[in-house]
A and B are shown apart, each in its own frame.
Chain A
Amino acid sequence: MKSSNKSEGFLKNYIKIVLKPDETIKKINEQKHDLLESLIIVMLSAFILLLGIFIVGGTIYNVFYEQYSTFILEQLTSGTLFGFSMSRYDFVFVFLSAFIFIIKSWLFFSIMFYLFMRIFGETENIKDTMIRFSWTIYPYAWIIFIFSMISLLFKLILPFVFHYIFFIGLGVIFIVFIPITLQRFYDNSERESVSSYMVYGSYYLTLFVIILLWTYNHYNITQMVFF
């Protein structure tokens, strides 16, 4: 009974953190969390996100596949390093490797953010950072899932540009909503106040590092970096 209540609360928090962040973050901060729970959040989000992308398919699937599979960190930490090549039509393999890629992205995001916070002189705990990031970024997966379903409609009306709408939406979530949610976590935590200058700075520097690595072998993206 207790465990079912706990899982209900967990799912409620997972959905409500996007809709009513302040209230939910207060609740989350009151409870004790471990890394296993964070891993479950990330895995659940990865599943929801990929489900949306696989259902929509078309350009969104192709762009997502091309971008993540050729990302330098993915190539260095996957079978590609040992010469394993995967076709985009091996759907099961693509799903599994993208699933693991999302988990790796959680680790990378947390470690980079942690390092920048330490460089700026803030006392930060890596475990807390990982938990905070799992609650900050990954619950947006269900919003992205809804977004992919809307894209499914756009696919019929605007078949040549519907993927732009999807990826611009994804970008707006990462640039606007996630840093504000992250700041809410720091504002509502019991620990001594952390300067929002450092939090936003570290977050955007993490995004900067990701863009830097991303453009390494993506000529089509470097054209965008041109401006």
Chain B
Amino acid sequence: MNARGKFRSFQEVFTNPDKIIDYSKENWSFIRFTLIIIIAGALFGYNFFWTTFILVITPPMIIWALGMLFLGILILDIFIYLYIFILWLSFTILLKIMSKNESPEKKSEKIDESLELIKKENLFSWIKVFSYCFLIPFLIYNFFEFILTVFFLSLNMPYVAVYIKDYGKFLLYAWILSLTLYSTHNIDKTQKYKVNAIILISFLITYGIVFILTFYGVAAITNLI
């Protein structure tokens, strides 16, 4: 039986990056993709909201808070799309540059093969891989963070939940980046490092946008409260 794209145990999600890559190529459906974004965004929105505003929210504000929570989910879902879009856009631009620079005298066979590999698998396939390399860790991480946030909030220990949210996200970034960078390991070396640089720069651009927007957004909302 072909075991490609099927997870035998939950541990494999962390230890076997090939499984996630195969899964993204073989089990793609737009409904599943959208569903993951909505669920992951909702979990992220919940964690973000309660660990960011919990220290300033008073009980009468709960209805207003719920409204803000849904607004937060909407905005954060847009951020997820933004990251995938920036990644896709940068990758497309890189491909265009690479195919323009192809001069028949200079190019080696290896580069040819690599370009062919990228073209053959086509852009949509790459975007499937990149987006799942981002979404699967994002969903799993936010699910566990959600459980921990609910647990610590119910114990009246919001500071622990805030601490986990503040520092835990760096673990998530490390996982997402190493997985996405690993997904390019089949490409020829000369192209691989360019693609990897594009992935990292796209990530930094998105993080920069999110950082600036949330910095001013949270400051504004906190002042309102």
Residues of A within 8 A of B (CB): 22, 172, 175-177, 179-180, 183-184, 187, 195-197, 200-201, 204-205, 207-208, 211-212, 215, 222, 225-227
Contact = CB atoms under 8 A, between A and B. Distances in A.
A207 B190 CA distance: 26
A200 B177 contact: yes
Contacts of B167: 211-212, 215, 225
Q: Is the interface of B mostly helix, strand, loop or mixed?
A: helix
Contacts of B177: 200, 204
Interface of B: 17, 52, 166-167, 170-171, 173-175, 177-179, 181-182, 185, 189-190, 193, 196-197, 200-201, 204, 210-211, 214-215, 218
A226 B166 contact: yes
A201 B166 contact: no
Nearest to B211: A227
A175 B204 contact: yes
Q: Please indicate which of the listed interface residues A172, A207, A227 has the most CB atoms of chain B within 10 Å of its own CB.
A: A227
Q: Please indicate which of the listed interface residues B52, B171, B178, B193 has the most CB atoms of chain A within 10 Å of its own CB.
A: B178
B193 A200 contact: no
B189 A187 contact: yes
A205 B215 contact: no
Contacts, number: 68
A204 B196 CA distance: 14
B182 A208 contact: no
B65 to A, nearest CB: 19
A195 B110 CA distance: 21
Contacts of B182: 195-197, 200
Per CB-CB distance, the 10 closest pairs between chain A and chain B, nearest first, are: A204-B174, A200-B178, A197-B182, A201-B178, A176-B200, A197-B17, A208-B170, A200-B181, A225-B166, A227-B214
A204 B178 contact: yes
A204 B204 CA distance: 14
25 contacts: A172-B204, A176-B197, A176-B200, A176-B204, A179-B181, A180-B193, A180-B196, A184-B189, A184-B193, A195-B17, A195-B185, A196-B178, A196-B181, A196-B182, A197-B178, A197-B182, A201-B178, A204-B177, A204-B178, A205-B171, A208-B171, A208-B174, A212-B167, A226-B52, A227-B214
